[in-house]
Amino acid sequence: MSFPFAGRRGEKPQLVPLSETAHLALLREIEAAGVGSFWATNAQGQLIYLSDKAQESLGPDCRKLIGRDLTSVFKECSLKDDSDTQRSLAFRMRTQAKITDQIVEISPEDSTAKNAASLRWWQVSARPYFDKKGEFCGYRGISADITSEFRHQQNMARQSQYDELTGLANRRRLQQRLTSTLNAFKTAGRVCALMMLDLDRFKQVNDTMGHPAGDELLKQVAERLGALIKDRGEVGRLGGDEFQILLPDVDDRGELSELAKRIIQMLSQPYSLSGRRAIIGASVGIAIAPYDGIEAEDLGGAVDLALYAAKAGGRGTYCFYRAELRDSASQAATIEEDLRDALDKGQLAMNYQPLVDPANNKVKSFEALMRWEHPEKGRISPEVFIPIAEQTDLIIKLGDWALRQACMNAAEWPGDICVAVNVSAKQFMNADFTRLVASVLKSSGLQAARLELEITESVFVGNVEAVDRTFAALKKLGVRLAMDDFGTGYSSLGYLKRAPFNKIKIDQSFVRGCTESGDTNPAIISAIVALAKALDMETVAEGVEAMDELKLVKERGADLIQGYIFSKPLSQAELLQRFAEAKLTFKPDGPPRYRADRMSVFRKIGLIHEDHYYDVMLRNLSPTGARIEGLSGVAAGTQVVLDLGGGQLVVSKVVHSNENSQGLEFETALISDGFGGLMTRHRVSPYALAEAGVPLAALGSGSYPLAQWRGGDKKPAKFVQLALA
């Protein structure tokens, strides 16, 4: 019981006890002065009292709170992400500890149906109350309504943590989350994947449809990403058209590949922007901690390089980080500089691969393919220099040159043979493209009907109306149009309905492996052929190399065949020689059956057998096996482990062996890295390497000879190590 002071002036004050009524009146006066309001619980932790001011703060529904457990009424909250650092309210009540300045959220309504307007936030303090016998009787507490202040702080905190346009986490929050996640996971030995996305052709939407349309597009992208990721991770916008996804406890590269494909497919579906239709695409880079980076800065740099590689690979694809990308970035800059010189110095040439009628093996047309013979580096593959050119306007200059050269060469061919020229999306969307085509036809003297422009689905990304205008202008010129790589990009049957194509090219990815048991590609080929016939279009099966593939695509109705089974690309001189000799028939010649692609490689890797580590040369690689050189005395049936580098260990079995070469079969198949290479789904964790005595660091590109760190006596080596060339 509280006591006021009383007494005459000059006399020592005396304590005078208040009556119960006066005491309650004093408490109400304190409440009215705004000092706070009061509440109490019983020994069981149930709310038994709310003072008048407390009831006024909560509204008429506050009576529903009486009798409820205090921990169900007071919901702990904080403006900080690390709210769990505070001792929980339930813990304090269990231990009968005091409560000091705890921020809680209160809703008088049922928690399943509460609305934001009814929410209140209090700052509460309380002490346990004991009777004269020392028995615990509950808590007696004071509270202050801080709702207005808390909401203001929430808004301020949100503005500093979230993107105003999309509502996603902003760059600052993403960086904080990544840093705190990696620090925590480093201690626990856990993994974390990071994906970075860049929208393809977004600038085109902004430029042609306006910034409001671009903003609306970004909002819809954010919604689609949120619907796909849900609670698996956090989606954020770094700025512009770049997004990032943080995925804790994910390192399965097969799972991440599938997710990347779904993201690309989902973001490539049409968007409705104020009654207008737009189509964009997306490129995805992927990096995983701790394999590709231990610290946030390292992992961020790795995923940035992976995204750059994905964009350089033609966009609309994904790429995993690998250590070689750091060297590739500087090499790309050198290649770009050399490529600019190549145009001026005449280092580029056009070769031509025949498209053959399988009914009589006669050539109907040729596809023009660019070749670059570097004076110092030799032949550089188009798979290397074309993606680099596409990152700049250099692709337009290359495309213009290729179109002129191909038309000039084709004008020397027999009059019924066409030439097909690849057109990049940037070149196609150039405002002067149609005028360029008309000018080239006039200067070369080539009939328009003998020129076929091969266009990929990426041209439909962006302003659809502008694409339609270009198609209409090209058809007016009389040139033919073909859709290249059908089914591999931003696929939509609507393209075929809108665009006046004469031909559909079935991508080689559907041809390869189409004869293997259980493969679904034959059904896809049949569907594409049937669709083309219904639309009065020709079909071309690309990349046919084996006789069984040729037989299948013929049976499925492909009109034309293109691939090494008929011919490699030929120079203009070789073609003119054939024409002079009237050799317009190409006889098929190839292996009888298709077998899984084996990439020809030539690099040193490691092989582990028992407790010995050997150096071997990898000669070719497929998803299911490899051929190596450098060891002698290896018997068929031997179990070994290949160290492909970067923590990639592959359990293998020797299926055939000779004096210095072995063929291996993998226990678990490799998967695509999305960039034309192969990789394992899982890798040896740097945490495991650290336990073996290796300093904790991201995985490099080299091999990791684990056997060298094993203790104890080693058995004699069973294999003879040969010198590697």
The pLDDT, as a whole number, for residue 574 is 95
H-type helices in 87-170, by residue range?
89-94, 147-161
Count of alpha carbons within 13 angstroms of residue 164, beta-carbon side: 4
Cβ count near 650 (within 10 Å): 20
Cβ count near 714 (within 10 Å): 11
User: What are the phi and psi torsion angles at 352 (to 5°)?
Assistant: -135, 125
Digit-coded pLDDT (tens) for 222-231? 999 999 999 9
- Whether residue 621 has pLDDT greater than 60: yes
Confidence of residue 448 (pLDDT cuts 50, 70, 90): very high
- Whether residue 189 has pLDDT greater than 60: yes
User: 675 near 314, Cβ under 8 Å?
Assistant: no
Digit-coded pLDDT (tens) for 572-582? 999 999 999 98
- Whether residue 242 has pLDDT greater than 90: yes
Confidence of residue 710 (pLDDT cuts 50, 70, 90): low
At 99, list the tokens. 């409560």
> Who's near 424: CB < 8 A, 6+ residues apart?
390, 395, 396, 399
Q: Which residue carries 């198609």 as its tokens?
A: 471
Confidence of residue 611 (pLDDT cuts 50, 70, 90): confident
The pLDDT, as a whole number, for residue 58 is 85
Count of alpha carbons within 13 angstroms of residue 412, beta-carbon side: 13
Digit-coded pLDDT (tens) for 190-205? 999 999 999 988 888 8
Q: Which residue carries 């992976």 as its tokens?
A: 306
The pLDDT, as a whole number, for residue 31 is 65
Confidence of residue 646 (pLDDT cuts 50, 70, 90): confident
At 615, list the tokens. 């150096």
Percent of the chain surpassing pLDDT 90 = 46
Digit-coded pLDDT (tens) for 489-508? 544 566 676 678 899 998 88
The pLDDT, as a whole number, for residue 83 is 41
Q: Distance (Å, rounded) from C-alpha 120 to C-alpha 138? A: 23
Q: Distance (Å, rounded) from C-alpha 592 to C-alpha 478? A: 41
267: helix, strand or coil: helix
Instruction: Give, in order, the Cα–Cα distances in Å from 380 to each of 337, 386, 571.
Output: 14, 10, 16
> Who's near 330: CB < 8 A, 6+ residues apart?
none
Count the residues in the chain.
Answer: 725
Cβ count near 259 (within 10 Å): 23
User: 684 near 291, Cβ under 8 Å?
Assistant: no
Sketch out the chain's domains with CATH numbers: 36-153 (3.30.450.20), 162-322 (3.30.70.270), 342-507+567-580 (3.20.20.450), 599-721 (2.40.10)
Confidence of residue 5 (pLDDT cuts 50, 70, 90): very low
What pTM was computed for the model? 0.64
The pLDDT, as a whole number, for residue 337 is 86
The per-residue DSSP string of 531-588 comes to HHHHTT-EEEE----SHHHHHHHHHTT-SEE-STTT---EEHHHHHHHHHTT--B---
Q: What is the pLDDT averaged over residues 336-357?
A: 90
Digit-coded pLDDT (tens) for 507-545? 887 887 777 776 778 888 898 899 889 889 999 999 898
Confidence of residue 85 (pLDDT cuts 50, 70, 90): very low
Closest C-alpha among 118, 119, 140 to residue 129: 140
The pLDDT, as a whole number, for residue 3 is 42
Please, which residues bridge with residue 609 across strands?
A: 612
For residue 84, the 8-state DSSP code is G
Closest C-alpha among 14, 13, 16 to residue 2: 16
Confidence of residue 178 (pLDDT cuts 50, 70, 90): very high
Q: Which helix (H) or strand (E) holds 649?
A: strand 649-657
Q: What is the pLDDT averaged over residues 681-706?
A: 81
Instruction: Give, in order, the Cα–Cα distances in Å from 482 to each of 275, 357, 502.
Output: 29, 17, 6
Comparing 707 with 717, which gets the higher pLDDT?
Answer: 717
Q: Distance (Å, rounded) from C-alpha 419 to C-alpha 409? A: 9
- Whether residue 616 has pLDDT greater than 80: yes
SS percent in the chain: helix, strand, coil, step 5: 40, 30, 35
Closest C-alpha among 242, 258, 380 to residue 308: 242
Peptide bond into 716 cis (omega under 30): no
β-pairing verdict for 120-130 and 99-106: antiparallel
Closest C-alpha among 234, 293, 286, 283 to residue 257: 286
Digit-coded pLDDT (tens) for 119-135? 888 999 999 999 999 99
Q: Distance (Å, rounded) from C-alpha 30 to C-alpha 50? A: 15
- Whether residue 82 has pLDDT greater than 50: no
Average pLDDT of the chain to the nearest whole number: 85
The pLDDT, as a whole number, for residue 44 is 92
The pLDDT, as a whole number, for residue 713 is 54
Q: Distance (Å, rounded) from C-alpha 507 to C-alpha 409? A: 26
β-pairing verdict for 560-561 and 538-541: parallel
Through-space distance between the first and last CA atoms of the chain, rounded to whole angstroms: 96
Q: Distance (Å, rounded) from C-alpha 534 to C-alpha 538? A: 10
The pLDDT, as a whole number, for residue 513 is 73
The pLDDT, as a whole number, for residue 329 is 65
Q: Distance (Å, rounded) from C-alpha 644 to C-alpha 528? A: 38
Confidence of residue 182 (pLDDT cuts 50, 70, 90): very high
- Whether residue 17 has pLDDT greater than 70: no
Digit-coded pLDDT (tens) for 285-305? 999 999 999 999 999 999 999
Confidence of residue 152 (pLDDT cuts 50, 70, 90): confident
**Which of these ranges, 109-118, 463-472, 588-597, has the smallest mean pLDDT?**
109-118
Please, which residues bridge with residue 102 across strands?
A: 124
Buried b (16+ CB within 10 A) or exposed e, 306-326: bbbbbbbbbbbbbbbbbbbbe
CA 155, 161, 164, 167 torsion: positive or negative? negative
195: helix, strand or coil: strand
- Please report how the helices 324-345 and 382-390 are oriented relative to each other, as an axis angle in degrees rounded to 10: 90
Count of alpha carbons within 13 angstroms of residue 523, beta-carbon side: 4
- Whether residue 669 has pLDDT greater than 90: yes
Digit-coded pLDDT (tens) for 356-408? 999 999 999 999 999 998 888 888 888 888 878 887 778 899 999 999 999 99
User: 71 near 82, Cβ under 8 Å?
Assistant: no
Instruction: Give, in order, the Cα–Cα distances in Å from 589 to each of 181, 354, 582.
Output: 57, 14, 20
User: 487 near 457, Cβ under 8 Å?
Assistant: no
The pLDDT, as a whole number, for residue 664 is 96
182: helix, strand or coil: helix
User: 690 near 628, Cβ under 8 Å?
Assistant: no
Confidence of residue 634 (pLDDT cuts 50, 70, 90): very high
Q: Which residue carries 């008429």 as its tokens?
A: 60
Instruction: Give, in order, the Cα–Cα distances in Å from 204 to each of 429, 473, 491, 677.
Output: 9, 20, 19, 31
Q: What is the pLDDT averaged over residues 105-132?
A: 77
The pLDDT, as a whole number, for residue 1 is 42
- Whether residue 600 has pLDDT greater than 70: no
